[in-house]
A and B are shown apart, each in its own frame.
Chain A
Amino acid sequence: MKLKSFFPVYLAILLAIPGAMIYSHEKILKQGEVFMFKTRPVDPYDLFRGRYVVLAFEQDSFEYNGPEHYPNNTVVYLTLGRDKKGFTKIESFSTEKPKSGTYLRAHVSWHEKTRWIYSEKTKTSEAVSANTVRFHFPFSRFYMNERKAPKAEALYRDVNSPDPKKPQIVMAAQVRVLNGSGILENVLVDGQPLAEKTK
């Protein structure tokens, strides 16, 4: 049998791969539980996928009491909860899948054992003992229109300037979480979609 007779099979597989990707993402978006992560955007560029804002999250670490050391890139499962204002907080984490509760699969980005704090008195940095595990979430890019992405960053920078007279805004990533997978659904600025705020 000639190789080219397999071409339709190849084409079918090729179409099935993005099809499967779309199906799994749509499933999470439809059935996943909504969590809001406080965030700050920065605007870079991807050669193939266009402009996006990188999201840095306020709740991306956990003060740990145990003796273990977690090397970078260790896969962990974060049990998610909500604070009084409804924003996501990490309640616990483990290298084993939790049996109950909503959890998110993430990677350890850094296990901080020592923190350097600058002292105004001595004008030097001093090492302080710490035990903080920082995480890298599977959602950190929010793709935006070429003209809107820089506006999103400028919006955050302007409104969050040190000037107390300027109004403070809250940016949050709306994430759908299902069976450990998390998909970024939207980024909200004071409850309004970022794309609308940057029109």
Chain B
Amino acid sequence: MKKTDWLNQEIGKWVEGRIISTEQAEKISALYSVSGSSKNTAATLFSILGAICLGLGVILLFAYNWDQLGRSIRTILAFLPLLASGALGYWVLSKHANSAAKCESIAALFFLSIGATMALISQTYHVSDDYNTFFLTWMLAGLPLVYFFNAGVPLIFYLAGITFWIGDCQNRGGHALFYWPLFLLALPKVVEVFKAQSESIRKIWVAWAIVMTQTIALGVSLEKSIPGLWMVIYAFYFGAIEWAGRRFFPHTESFWRNPLNRFGRFGILVLAYLLTFDWPWRETGFLYYRDEGRYHGWASAADYVLFACFGFLALRSWAENLKDKQEELSLLGFFPFLTALIFALNSIRSGFVMPELLFNLLLLAYGIFCVTGGWRKDSLKLVNGGLAVIALILVTRFGDSSWGILTRAFIFIALGAGFLVLNRAFSRKGKKV
């Protein structure tokens, strides 16, 4: 037996015997890096997959519609998944509250059982509501599971469910901004998972669920009464999750292990790239404020709150990078504020600044800064990243028919000359060294 596996087993016994608390167990695990012992992680993964397949199977079994069974038998059957998973849930909470595999799998099964029961009752009584009401009821009924179990899967189901719900809600002309109160209901659990010392598989999954669902939910839920404000809020949002990545995953920068951090940085770059086009800037700003039809002035309050909250966190992210003397990150972290500034200037009068041209120049400057920084620090990753940004801008603009052929020709010649001058400068510096 590996030493780490042995220690992991012992820690489990200490927790069950109440010699140490769960928090202390996590701290010891983090110290000896045993929290994610591969055997345990695999067991947890398979138990979750098993429970999810079982739950989905029950849903499909009910969806077949056994009309020969009659209403009363089907009504009794509808309660079976709930009762069974309720009993299992009680057993797990009483006897195995610290077993990740049991908590995750039973909580997942329970969450799906709620859906199965609701589906069978709806089917039996021909309830004609659509996915909208069905999903909202399901998610609210399943929300307490997020807190009862020491598990991440119910939280992931909940986050995915409310995101699906607002998508459907928006489609039907409803108010998708209700996503935020629903998200706030789960926020204490999100914070609890993120505050755990070890970078466990649960923490990583929840982080992935957050970035995947919230990036979609943000776009859907914004009221957009001020056209174009979305770009500033998104820029701040990416800055905020970059900060969260560094705050809650301080020991890793790996893409898979720290999605918040990587997604934040990548998101800023993708957004900046989108803003090099003309279309996001058309008819944007305060002058085009809209408060009629499907736009509601009162609902825009959520946009301004998000603007302020994400703006504050993005500012923190930028300040911390600046303090740590992370040059490339400080520059990247400044992009959201440049976006806000350019948006504000463009709002004064359309065409007052040429925002798409500014973003082309900014991204190009960022690419060059990364290449030169990488060259200085001997970091191939940074050089390649910078070159990728420059190449993307050049290829996009070369084929961009909205800019005249002659304009593009002169810009490319000027850029080519610029790069040659840079090359000359770096060659001389190299010789001196």
Q: In this complex, which of B94, B123, B131 has the most chain A Cβ atoms within 10 angstroms of its Cβ?
A: B123
Q: Mark interface residues in A120-151 (1 if CB within 8 Å of B CB, else 0).
A: 00000000000000000111111111101000
Complex-state Cα separation, A8 to B78, whole angstroms: 19
Contact of B121 with A10 in the complex, beta carbons under 8 Å: no
Decide: A7 near B63, CB < 8 A? Known: A140-B128, A143-B126, A184-B126. no
Complex-state Cα separation, A146 to B64, whole angstroms: 6
Q: How far is the CB of A177 from chain B (nearest CB, A)?
A: 14
Contact of A50 with B121 in the complex, beta carbons under 8 Å: no
Complex-state Cα separation, A13 to B83, whole angstroms: 12
- For window 18-77 of chain A, which residues contact chain B by CB distance below 8 Å? 18, 21-22, 25, 46-52
Which of B114, B115, B122 contacts A14 (CB under 8 A)?
B114
Contact of B64 with A15 in the complex, beta carbons under 8 Å: no
Q: Mark interface residues in B70-101 (1 if CB within 8 Å of A CB, else 0).
A: 00000100110011001001100110010000
Name which residue of chain B comes closest to A138, CB basis: B128
Decide: A49 near B63, CB < 8 A? Known: A7-B93, A10-B148, A138-B128. yes
Residues of A within 8 A of B75 (CB): 22
List the 8 shortest-distance A-B pairs measured between CB atoms, nearest first.
A50-B63, A184-B126, A48-B119, A143-B123, A141-B128, A25-B125, A11-B86, A145-B65
Contact of A183 with B125 in the complex, beta carbons under 8 Å: yes
Q: How far is the CB of A17 from chain B (nearest CB, A)?
A: 7
- By secondary structure, the A interface counts as mixed
Complex-state Cα separation, A8 to B97, whole angstroms: 15
Residues of A within 8 A of B128 (CB): 137-141, 184
Contact of B62 with A50 in the complex, beta carbons under 8 Å: yes
Contact of A15 with B79 in the complex, beta carbons under 8 Å: yes
Name which residue of chain A comes closest to B75, CB basis: A22
Contact of A144 with B67 in the complex, beta carbons under 8 Å: yes
Complex-state Cα separation, A105 to B23, whole angstroms: 54
Contact of B121 with A48 in the complex, beta carbons under 8 Å: no
Complex-state Cα separation, A96 to B8, whole angstroms: 67
Which of A18, A50, A143, A184 contacts B78 (CB under 8 A)?
A18
Q: How far is the CB of A188 from chain B (nearest CB, A)?
A: 14
Complex-state Cα separation, A36 to B144, whole angstroms: 42
Q: How far is the CB of A31 from chain B (nearest CB, A)?
A: 15
Which of B64, B93, B126, B134 contacts A4 (CB under 8 A)?
B93
**In this assembly, does B66 line the interface, its C-beta being within 8 Å of a C-beta of chain A?**
yes
Complex-state Cα separation, A121 to B62, whole angstroms: 54
Which of B82, B90, B147 contacts A8 (CB under 8 A)?
B90
Q: Categorize the interface residue count of chain B.
A: 35 or more
Complex-state Cα separation, A143 to B64, whole angstroms: 10
Residues of A within 8 A of B126 (CB): 52, 139, 141-143, 183-184
A-B pairs with beta carbons under 8 A, tally: 94
**In this assembly, does B198 line the interface, its C-beta being within 8 Å of a C-beta of chain A?**
no
Contact of A22 with B121 in the complex, beta carbons under 8 Å: yes
**In this assembly, does B59 line the interface, its C-beta being within 8 Å of a C-beta of chain A?**
yes
Complex-state Cα separation, A50 to B75, whole angstroms: 16
Residues of A within 8 A of B123 (CB): 49-50, 52, 143
Complex-state Cα separation, A8 to B118, whole angstroms: 19
Q: How far is the CB of A144 from chain B (nearest CB, A)?
A: 6
Contact of A146 with B93 in the complex, beta carbons under 8 Å: no
Complex-state Cα separation, A15 to B76, whole angstroms: 12
Residues of A within 8 A of B82 (CB): 14-15, 18
Q: How far is the CB of A50 from chain B (nearest CB, A)?
A: 3
Residues of B within 8 A of A15 (CB): 79, 82-83, 86
Complex-state Cα separation, A123 to B86, whole angstroms: 66
**In this assembly, does A195 line the interface, its C-beta being within 8 Å of a C-beta of chain B?**
yes
Contact of B93 with A18 in the complex, beta carbons under 8 Å: no
Residues of A within 8 A of B97 (CB): 4
Contact of A48 with B63 in the complex, beta carbons under 8 Å: yes
Contact of A48 with B134 in the complex, beta carbons under 8 Å: yes
Name which residue of chain B comes closest to A148, CB basis: B67
Could you give 9 example pairs across A and B, Cβ below 8 Å?
A: A4-B148, A7-B90, A14-B141, A22-B75, A22-B121, A47-B63, A48-B119, A49-B123, A146-B63
